[in-house]
């Protein structure tokens, strides 16, 4: 132990000799070369580079059959805000009737509002989007796709429902093949029409064949029969788009694929989608122990859907979302759990939802959407801190391309904190560790045998220093204070033991100072119903190019020199 202070006392001196080196920056998600295809579980572009779909859903399937919000803001300003909020993609919904009912498709936007008595929407639309208001509904839909394209936003066309209106219930006649409004032949006809219409539109990168299959008629045999038929129909017309298939039971269940794979004439274009909300598990989030409920929900998610990644297919979490006001306990706890999974698995996703308000939803005009990214008048983000959290998963952590000739060279870990959407980082050598944007994360290495967490290419490891004390970086990493294990049912507490009396502590963040500390582990006992989220961390695989300026490279070689040349003799002297 006596050796350590010696190094510490050298720190100020050594840091003077540090030369700042900067690794070259590859933009994490540069403009993609279309069309997209799949490479095992990844979606990639023409050059083989990963493209992570970080989408937001934009509804265009309600009664008015017009993309929401255009009575509040000009289309171009909405598209630009989608980009500035960090999304690269929109999941644009459409009702089947738009594609199979010519008299609906040729109704103008103005008349659609008039038929619904939405006089205020007409005035707002006229003011904000005069060039769209007298287009037919199908041309207005195309105008939205086209404007998104102009702003480099990718689009997934999502057949959300049959009859225009809010989705989804088991008995709305749109749940499953054979329901009142869901004739399989007309559905194929509609998919064919949309595939034809958007053939050659390069920013339309995928078609999601049907949202949330459900209801009393659902069954596995018809799922294969019709989904395979729909997939072939779309692919035959537009082989450029990704074909995205939804599961059963409101798209929560793909488990039937374990036994029976989908059989298609084409490869490299198939993606599966799944939905995951807080209300699926509901009250247990509030009444139960969040570690336990999260553990169970994660297990269920893997069993019902996550396994497709291991089968070599991309998984698109095409709906998740919360009341962004942060007042719903169920949503808050679920989101912490979900963000950990989303970072770890690094799958593609679409947030529900963009809309701050709807022209008309379930009979209410101007319906306020508390799950919406935008505020009621679509002028700005409803809650910017929610956006900050989402930004943690917008960029890819991993991808299929390694540096040529150096497989694994870029492999490292980042330590992700779902409550903030940030990652463990170190501003400078002498400042305590804190949280920052994951793009500025340190490259960590987790040694699963020794349980140490070190900065890649250095001797520095994380060390617990005491209750409510900042975590240290040290170079003697053999003690219990340097061993970190994921514990609890959620597996998201990173736990170590203190030197003095061996007490178990957990990594935590002091949210006032933003400093990483260790504290007594929260809510480990099943009966503890407290909220452990400040202590939830995920060790996430990453191959991102680092763009941090790291003094450690040089510092480490100085340290190396001391180790080799002086440490031995010091120990002998002592």
For binding to ligand NAG (CB under 6 A), which residues are involved? 27-28, 97, 101, 103-104, 107, 325-326, 344-345, 375-377, 379, 383, 385-386, 439-440, 541, 547-548
Closer CB to ligand NAG, residue 163 or residue 469? Answer: 163
Q: Which residue has the tokens 């007298």?
A: 134
Residue nearest to ligand NAG according to CB distances in the complex: 326
**CB of residue 67 vs ligand NAG: minimum separation in angstroms?**
18
Handedness of CA 209, 211, 215, 218 (dihedral sign): positive
Q: Could you write out the three-class secondary structure of 104-144?
A: HHCCEHHHHHHHCCCHHHHHHHHHHCCCCCCCEHHHHHHHH
**CB of residue 54 vs ligand NAG: minimum separation in angstroms?**
13
Strand partners, 475: none
Closer CB to ligand NAG, residue 89 or residue 335? Answer: 335
Closer CB to ligand NAG, residue 227 or residue 546? Answer: 546
**CB of residue 392 vs ligand NAG: minimum separation in angstroms?**
12
Closer CB to ligand NAG, residue 114 or residue 220? Answer: 114
**CB of residue 107 vs ligand NAG: minimum separation in angstroms?**
6
Q: Is 505 left (phi over 0), alpha (psi -120 to 50) or beta?
A: beta
Closer CB to ligand NAG, residue 240 or residue 442? Answer: 442
Asked if the bond preceding 422 is cis, omega within 30° of 0, the reply is no
**CB of residue 387 vs ligand NAG: minimum separation in angstroms?**
9
Closer CB to ligand NAG, residue 206 or residue 306? Answer: 306
**CB of residue 77 vs ligand NAG: minimum separation in angstroms?**
12
Angle between helices 184-197 and 220-237 (to 10 degrees): 30
Closer CB to ligand NAG, residue 57 or residue 128? Answer: 128
Q: Quick one: which of 162, 314, 159, 315 has its CA closest to 233?
A: 159
Angle between helices 137-150 and 75-84 (to 10 degrees): 40
Contact 445, 454 (CB under 8 A): yes
CA atoms within 13 A on the CB side of 440: 12
**What token pair was written down for 456?**
């890649």
Asked if the bond preceding 35 is cis, omega within 30° of 0, the reply is yes
Closer CB to ligand NAG, residue 367 or residue 376? Answer: 376
User: 492: Cβ–Cβ under 8 A, 6 or more apart, which residues?
Assistant: 291, 294, 340, 418, 486, 532, 535, 536, 537, 538
**CB of residue 120 vs ligand NAG: minimum separation in angstroms?**
13
**CB of residue 25 vs ligand NAG: minimum separation in angstroms?**
6
Cα angle, residue 121 at apex, residues 120 and 123 outer, rounded to 5°: 65
**CB of residue 97 vs ligand NAG: minimum separation in angstroms?**
6
**What token pair was written down for 240?**
């450029």
Closer CB to ligand NAG, residue 39 or residue 232? Answer: 39
């Amino acid at each position: 132990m006596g050796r350590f202070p010696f190094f510490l006392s050298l720190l100020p001196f050594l840091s003077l000799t540090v030369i700042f080196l900067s690794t070259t920056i590859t933009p994490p998600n540069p403009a993609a070369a279309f069309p997209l295809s799949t490479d095992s579980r990844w979606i990639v572009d023409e050059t083989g580079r990963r493209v992570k779909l970080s989408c937001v859903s934009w509804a265009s399937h309600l009664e008015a059959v017009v993309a929401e919000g255009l009575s509040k803001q000009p289309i171009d300003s909405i598209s630009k805000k989608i980009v500035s909020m960090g999304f690269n993609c929109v999941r644009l919904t459409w009702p089947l009737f738009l594609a199979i009912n010519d008299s609906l498709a040729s109704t103008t936007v103005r008349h659609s509002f008039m038929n619904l008595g939405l006089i205020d929407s007409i005035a707002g639309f006229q003011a904000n989007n005069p060039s769209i208001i007298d287009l037919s509904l199908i041309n207005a839909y195309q105008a939205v796709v086209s404007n998104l394209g102009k702003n480099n936003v990718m689009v997934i066309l999502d057949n959300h429902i049959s009859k225009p209106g809010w989705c989804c219930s088991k008995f709305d006649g749109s749940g499953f093949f054979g329901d009142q409004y869901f004739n399989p032949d007309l559905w194929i006809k509609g998919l064919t029409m949309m595939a034809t219409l958007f053939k050659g539109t390069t920013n339309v990168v995928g078609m999601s064949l049907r949202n949330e299959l459900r209801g009393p008629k659902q069954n596995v045999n018809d799922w294969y029969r019709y989904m395979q038929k729909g997939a072939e129909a779309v692919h035959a017309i537009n082989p450029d788009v990704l074909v995205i298939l939804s599961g059963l039971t409101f798209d929560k269940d793909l488990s039937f694929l374990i036994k029976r794979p989908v059989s298609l004439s084409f490869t490299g274009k198939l993606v599966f989608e799944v939905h995951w909300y807080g209300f699926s598990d509901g009250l247990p989030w509030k009444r139960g122990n969040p570690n336990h409920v999260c553990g169970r929900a994660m297990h269920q998610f893997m069993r019902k859907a996550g396994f497709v990644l291991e089968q070599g297919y991309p998984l698109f979490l095409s709906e998740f979302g919360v009341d962004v006001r942060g007042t719903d306990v169920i949503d808050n706890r679920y989101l912490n759990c979900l963000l950990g999974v989303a970072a770890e698995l690094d799958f593609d996703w679409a947030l529900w939802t963009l809309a701050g308000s709807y022209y008309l939803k379930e009979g209410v005009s101007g319906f306020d959407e508390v799950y919406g990214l935008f505020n009621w008048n679509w002028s700005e983000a409803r809650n910017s801190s929610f956006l900050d959290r989402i930004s943690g998963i917008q960029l890819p952590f991993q991808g299929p391309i390694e540096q040529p000739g150096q497989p694994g060279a870029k492999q490292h870990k980042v330590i992700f904190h779902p409550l903030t959407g940030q990652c463990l980082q170190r501003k400078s050598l002498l400042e305590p560790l804190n949280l920052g944007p994951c793009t500025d994360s340190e490259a960590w290495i987790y040694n699963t045998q020794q349980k140490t967490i070190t900065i890649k290419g250095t001797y520095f490891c994380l060390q617990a220093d005491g209750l409510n004390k900042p975590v240290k970086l040290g170079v003697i990493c053999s003690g219990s204070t340097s061993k970190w294990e994921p514990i609890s049912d959620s597996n998201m507490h990173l736990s170590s033991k203190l030197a003095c009396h061996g007490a178990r502590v957990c990594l935590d963040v002091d949210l006032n100072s933003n400093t990483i500390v260790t504290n007594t582990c929260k809510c480990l006992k099943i009966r503890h119903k407290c909220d452990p989220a400040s202590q939830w961390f995920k060790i996430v695989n990453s191959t991102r190019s680092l763009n941090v300026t790291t003094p450690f490279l040089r510092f480490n070689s100085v340290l190396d020199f001391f180790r080799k040349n002086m440490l031995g003799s010091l120990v002998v002297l002592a």
